[in-house]
Structure 1
Amino acid sequence: MDTRQKILMITVIGAAIMELIDISIVNVALSHMSGNLGATLEDTSWVITAYAIANVIIIPMTSFLTTNLGRRNYYIGSILLFTFCSFMCGNSGNIWELVIFRFLQGLGGGALLSVSAAVVYELFPKEKQATASALFGIGIFIGPTIGPTLGGYITEFASWPWIFYINVPIGIIVAISCYFLLGEPSTAGKKGKVDWIGIALLAIGVGALQIVLERGQTDDWFEARYIVVLSVIAFFSLLFFIFWELHVDYPVVDLRVLKSKSLMIAAILTFITGIGMFTSIYLTPVFAQRLLAFSPSQTGVLLLPGSVVALIALILSGKMLQRGVSPALIVLLGFLCFIYFNWAMSQVTLDTSASYIAVSLIFRAVGMAFLTVPLATLAVSSLAPEDMPQGAAMNNMMRQLGGSFGISILNTFVARRIAAHRVDMISDISETNTIAMDRLHQLTKAFEQKGFAEIDAKLRALQLMDNVVQKQSSLLSYIDGYLLIGLFFTLALPLLILVARRQKGKLVVASADH
């Protein structure tokens, strides 16, 4: 590999890391964004889901767009779109302006992951594809791992817009480097007609479904007319999309690859992994900042120990694959780590220490390390070489789809559980509850001693008790959220049995979109 190729490899891996950092970098800044832009936390979560849903739409189209637009044109154009929208995100004056540019940023970011992988694999000869897989695997793992830490420091010591502005100089450097160094693939695909109908059906169906999931809780689900309309649109758009893609000559997403049992099961497991990956990195910072009063930088530091251990686990999982260990077995270990992480986080209280959360997050990080490469390997293990790029893209799409749906479902679930726990607690505060009445009396006396009149003292005591109820309700709802995520992983475990026998001793390295 000559110097030009080494620079190109560093450039495209750097671009992939930048894209993946942006998936999680905003998580620790949500509270600051919410306050600064005058939006609720539920509305602010659209900053995450808009990016994820754009990725879901564009990733399965990557192979199609690369073939029809040219890899070099598509990749550089995507970098420029990502960079411009990063600047506009930082410049946004309200939450919905930010969400729009975040969506467009996600459309640009989709190519930075899929095409970068293809370039890295192309730079290595066939006998060294395992090395390419390891290098890119470490790169794609670093992004979402260091994202919250980086976002925490930037938010606290600068301001939240800089988590977007930081992409601008990097994006310009990557675009210039690729302009001079990136060429077309040695084996270009055959151009076909643009599947505009497939593209439109995918965008409309997934977009409508995402809005239903995101806004349903706020607007009382099917009591709202637009939720009903969007649900019908989503159902028929996605149904017709499946029918259309199975019968058109040049599909934007070749669903025929799902005939592979291994790919189908891997896609489901990757969907569950996406739920765990995105929801845990969304819920934990919110819990740490809103209930434990951690600063953004303190929240980011919680993930550092897990990051270090996970890099070791990632290398270990690669060596296990090279020695013939079944990908299904490694995925099983990853799922068990995730299940333990969610159980551990369901035991938290308002007095939980930072060290307890950091240790729990180590299990999450190790779980991700055991799932990153093995699931991609499992997905393409039974595919013909020409179907591997589409199979890998399908697998990537399912991870992003799981993340966007997971956050929406979790938001709805947590909001409902807060209301339910609050009702339960308030119903216990009555004159028949001597403990509650004694506490109210003590607080009232304390305020009276500070000089407040009896009525004002009692009102302040009631307000203080209400704040305690609200905080405890939120804590219990977050605990329920972790248990729900853990349940998803537990219910998916039997699927591994279906592919474990087929995968004994096999190792297949994806030759494109990883």
Structure 2
Amino acid sequence: MSTPAQSVHEAAFNPPSRGIATMGLCLATFMQVLDTTIANVSLPTIAGNLGVSSGQSTWVITSFAVSTAIALPLTGYLTRRFGEVRLFIWATMLFSLASFLCGIATNMPELILFRALQGAVAGPMYPITQSLLISIYPPIKRGMALALLAMITVVAPIAGPILGGWITDNYSWEWIFFINVPIGLFASAVIAQQMRERRDPIETPKLDRMGLFLLVIGVGSLQIMLDLGNDADWFASPLIVALTLVSVVALTVFVIWELTHDDPIVNLTLFRKRNFLVGTIAMVMAYAAFFSMGLLVPLWLQRNLGYTSIWAGLATAPIGLLPILLTPVVGKYSSKVDLRLMASFAFVVMGLVSFMRSQFVVQVDFFHVALTQFIMGLGVAFFFMPMIQIMLSDLSPREIPGGSGLSTFLRTLGGSFSASITTFLWDERGVVHHAHLTESISAYNSQATATLPLLGATPTAQLAQANQLITQQAVQLGFNELFYALAWIFVGLILLLWFARPPFSAKAGPASAGH
């Protein structure tokens, strides 16, 4: 027989309309995840309108990413201090306000400041949405709720650049921010109405000022270093070296401080729990690899195959089709199938697609590019929901917001690392292959001497055209090597995943029904 405390923790809170409450939560999350990518394609227009260089305009992205990364690990503390529902409502409303301020910004410093504010309040939104969704569904249906959230996590970043480009071309860049205002206010009102009877336990934990200071310095320096590294030629830049040293020292001291503090601002002891540790490592590595794929393919289509940004978007968009169609199926059977099998299937599909792409050539057509994206969607459909549920399965209800915030922070950081490392390795391998391929162009190679006259009327034109073809092939070989490596990463993650132990049912949040 369960105790009253257990029944409170395990019972789902029943809002007046579970469907409307779900819609409010998902709308806010879609808006927040969309904003991680919607401004990317608008940067040239923003830079031109505000009279700054393209390099300066990238701070619109960096400021959002840095403040989000800092805010994510604070979710557990903020939840204890303000309660899940109140935190969600205020974060969503402030996100709408920050979006409006971004839209009326008259210069770049203002826009960067308001984007930083937007990122800071966006941090807790996704982890709190996870926790609230779990709390309003009975155990048998929580997989469905998490599958729906996973679908949004996949579709929103894909829709961001397409929607951002369309709004910028047909209206003005300000509207990529203004559209958030009615969505955010509506979502806030819905959740306030649907969850007004939900009672969250409120604590008054003492603010760990030293932990917060170290977190801001360490994560801020690390995120800026990752964002600026490629453009600054990495460790050839004194700025990158300084940022790296600051982040390493600050984060090392932060970990030691948090593990020895009586009331840490970030609960690192959650990693003592097996499923949370295994699930977080697997999720971070898999998401980093998935993020690399999402970065590489559009860049490759535009740089190497000559696609426009619109056609690159159309070629990559099919990845979202199967997650939308299969979400009900994945959610329905998640309680009946070992979630490790679901996630393993996802990694098999992602690995297979990576192996397929490692065989691509520069003559590959649109159909085969879109087909691999479509197949990739099958893996994505079975990826996020099982991984989230495995990760949170051995956390107590009170630990879920903090654990979700911490894992989402590490996942986001993993994406930033993968973006920087992937572009760096692609450039480096392209240079190496270019050097190897040019070695065969000489007067002693009969095939080369026979081919060069076909490339142009003059020796200069012939060599220029040959260099262009060699560069294209070198970039392609680098692309293929990266996907071959990504394929084996997914294979290795299957082995890691089976260190997790059932049961994997996510627990409800810590609130009482209030009636």
Give the deviation of 1:12 after TM superposition: 1.9
User: Residues 271-286 of structure 1: matches in 2 within 5 Å?
Assistant: 271-286=284-299
1:476 aligns with 2:488: no
Distance in 2 of aligned mates of 1:236 and 1:392: 25
Task: Return the match for 2:308 from 279, 289, 295.
Answer: 295
What is the aligned partner in structure 2 of residue 331 from structure 1? 343
What TM-score, normalized by structure 2, do the two folds share? Answer: 0.83
Distance in 2 of aligned mates of 1:88 and 1:487: 45
User: Residues 417-432 of structure 1: matches in 2 within 5 Å?
Assistant: 417-432=429-444
Give the deviation of 1:209 after TM superposition: 2.5
What is the aligned partner in structure 1 of residue 220 from structure 2? 207
What does the per-residue CA deviation read over 1:214-267, in whole Å, with 9 as the maximum and x for residues that have no partner?
444544544433333322222221111111111222212111111112211111
CA contact (8 A) 2:230 2:420 kept: no
AA aligned to 1:421 is H
Q: Which moved more, 1:420-429 or 1:12-21?
A: 420-429
Task: Return the match for 2:389 from 363, 369, 377.
Answer: 377
What does the per-residue CA deviation read over 1:132-191, in whole Å, with 9 as the maximum and x for residues that have no partner?
541353134134325424532551574383544433432343345556665485132422
Q: Given the superposition, is the C-alpha separation of residues 45 and 490 from structure 1 closer, same or farther in structure 2, using an over 3 Å criterion?
A: farther
What is the aligned partner in structure 2 of residue 497 from structure 1? 498
Q: Secondary structure at the match of 1:193?
A: coil
What is the aligned partner in structure 1 of residue 467 from structure 2? 466
What is the aligned partner in structure 2 of residue 155 from structure 1? 165
What is the aligned partner in structure 1 of residue 154 from structure 2? 144
1:14 aligns with 2:15: no
Q: Secondary structure at the match of 1:493?
A: helix
What is the aligned partner in structure 2 of residue 454 from structure 1? none
Q: Which moved more, 1:89-98 or 1:164-173?
A: 89-98
Distance in 2 of aligned mates of 1:132 and 1:403: 26
CA contact (8 A) 2:84 2:132 kept: no
AA aligned to 1:478 is F
The percent of aligned pairs where both chains have the same amino acid is: 26
Distance in 2 of aligned mates of 1:202 and 1:190: 22
Q: Given the superposition, is the C-alpha separation of residues 344 and 98 from structure 1 closer, same or farther in structure 2, using an over 3 Å criterion?
A: farther
Distance in 2 of aligned mates of 1:94 and 1:428: 52
Q: Given the superposition, is the C-alpha separation of residues 146 and 84 from structure 1 closer, same or farther in structure 2, using an over 3 Å criterion?
A: same
What does the per-residue CA deviation read over 1:6-56, in whole Å, with 9 as the maximum and x for residues that have no partner?
54432221101122223344567789889997547xx98776665444433
Give the deviation of 1:283 after TM superposition: 1.7
Distance in 1 of aligned mates of 2:140 and 2:432: 51
AA aligned to 1:413 is L
| Structure 1 unaligned residues grouped into runs of 5+ | 446-456
User: Residues 107-506 of structure 1: matches in 2 within 5 Å?
Assistant: 107-124=120-137, 128-149=138-159, 151-152=161-162, 154-156=164-166, 158-159=168-169, 161=173, 162-177=175-190, 183=196, 185-323=198-336, 325-445=337-457, 457-499=458-500, 502-503=501-502, 506=503
Q: Given the superposition, is the C-alpha separation of residues 50 and 140 from structure 1 closer, same or farther in structure 2, using an over 3 Å criterion?
A: farther
AA aligned to 2:470 is V
Q: Given the superposition, is the C-alpha separation of residues 487 and 206 from structure 1 closer, same or farther in structure 2, using an over 3 Å criterion?
A: farther
AA aligned to 2:244 is S
| Structure 2 unaligned residues grouped into runs of 5+ | 1-13, 511-515
Q: Given the superposition, is the C-alpha separation of residues 27 and 228 from structure 1 closer, same or farther in structure 2, using an over 3 Å criterion?
A: closer
1:64 aligns with 2:58: no
The number of residues matched between the two structures is 492
CA contact (8 A) 2:305 2:362 kept: yes
CA contact (8 A) 2:38 2:164 kept: no
Q: Given the superposition, is the C-alpha separation of residues 51 and 184 from structure 1 closer, same or farther in structure 2, using an over 3 Å criterion?
A: farther
Distance in 2 of aligned mates of 1:97 and 1:413: 35
Q: Secondary structure at the match of 2:124?
A: helix
CA contact (8 A) 2:392 2:403 kept: yes
1:508 aligns with 2:505: yes
What is the aligned partner in structure 2 of residue 449 from structure 1? none
Distance in 1 of aligned mates of 2:270 and 2:416: 23
Distance in 1 of aligned mates of 2:48 and 2:352: 34
Q: Given the superposition, is the C-alpha separation of residues 83 and 428 from structure 1 closer, same or farther in structure 2, using an over 3 Å criterion?
A: farther
What does the per-residue CA deviation read over 1:409-461, in whole Å, with 9 as the maximum and x for residues that have no partner?
1122122122222222333333333333333323332xxxxxxxxxxx44333
CA contact (8 A) 1:267 1:394 kept: no
What does the per-residue CA deviation read over 1:461-510, in whole Å, with 9 as the maximum and x for residues that have no partner?
333333323332322222233233323323333212322xx32xx23124
Q: Secondary structure at the match of 1:428?
A: coil
Q: Secondary structure at the match of 1:285?
A: helix
Q: Secondary structure at the match of 1:436?
A: helix
CA contact (8 A) 1:317 1:369 kept: yes
Q: Secondary structure at the match of 1:252?
A: coil
Q: Which moved more, 1:329-338 or 1:151-160?
A: 151-160
What root-mean-square deviation, in Å, do the aligned CA atoms of Structure 1 and Structure 2 show? Answer: 3.4
CA contact (8 A) 1:275 1:406 kept: yes
Q: Secondary structure at the match of 1:210?
A: helix
Q: Given the superposition, is the C-alpha separation of residues 374 and 274 from structure 1 closer, same or farther in structure 2, using an over 3 Å criterion?
A: same
Distance in 2 of aligned mates of 1:342 and 1:206: 31
AA aligned to 2:471 is Q
Give the deviation of 1:4 after TM superposition: 6.6
Q: Given the superposition, is the C-alpha separation of residues 130 and 195 from structure 1 closer, same or farther in structure 2, using an over 3 Å criterion?
A: farther
Distance in 2 of aligned mates of 1:33 and 1:439: 46
